[in-house]
Amino acid sequence: MNGIEKILAHILTVSEAQCADIEHAAAEECDRIRAEFAKKENDEYQKLIQDGTKDAERRLERLNSLAALESKKQVLMTQQEMLSEAFAYAAKKLLQLPEEEYVNFLAGQAAAASLSGVESIMLSHSDRERYGTKVLSAANSALENKGKAARLSLSDECADITGGLILSGGDIEVNCSVEALIAQCRNSISPAVASVLFD
């Protein structure tokens, strides 16, 4: 082998060694880059999982809060409906009192609402026909017993009410209809009725 061939062989050997070193370094760099990207990918994946979990938990909390509010709203609506039904039932029971009790109830309302003793009693059409004269007599008797003027009269007009009465004197009308009496006491006794119904 002559000198040039030896030089070429040496250059080739050195070149192959350098190529092997470069290839080895490149492979290590590729492995490092792959590992780095794999770590970044895993970190990003974990972050997405954590963010997604937190978002899902927040949404679940909001949904639970909304469901709880809706549930309370439904309970309150149902309680209000039940209260309304209770007061409607009370009104119905008043209208279904035995005749003597109902007449005394109407007479008591008229006597209590009377200011001058000369007002006019307006009843519903059916109550006027069935109880009108009895109510008038009992109301005037109640006023006499209190030492007041007792000249109430029965109006020729009928009131557009289901029961109870309207006492009219001059420009003043006192609404003692069953509906008005129930409405007047509803606010004050609703808590007591609610405690009986719901406690």
Beta strand pairing status for 153-154 and 120-123?
parallel
For the chain, the structural domain boundaries read 1-78, 97-198
**19-32 per-position pLDDT tens digit:** 777 788 777 877 78
Query: Mean pLDDT, to the nearest integer, of 34-54?
Result: 84
As a whole number of angstroms, the distance between CA 34 and CA 148 comes to 107
**SS3 at position 166:** strand
How far is CA 123 from each of CA 56, 91, 137, 150, rounded to the nearest angstrom? 65, 16, 14, 18
How far is CA 88 from each of CA 38, 94, 108, 185, rounded to the nearest angstrom? 73, 10, 21, 13
- DSSP summary character for residue 163: S
**62-116 per-position pLDDT tens digit:** 888 888 888 888 888 888 888 888 888 888 998 999 999 999 999 999 999 998 9
CATH tag, 97-198: 3.30.2320.30
Sequence-ordered strand ranges (E) for the chain: 120-123, 153-154, 164-169, 172-177
Query: Among 158, 175, 168, 171, which residue's Cα sits nearest to residue 119?
Result: 168
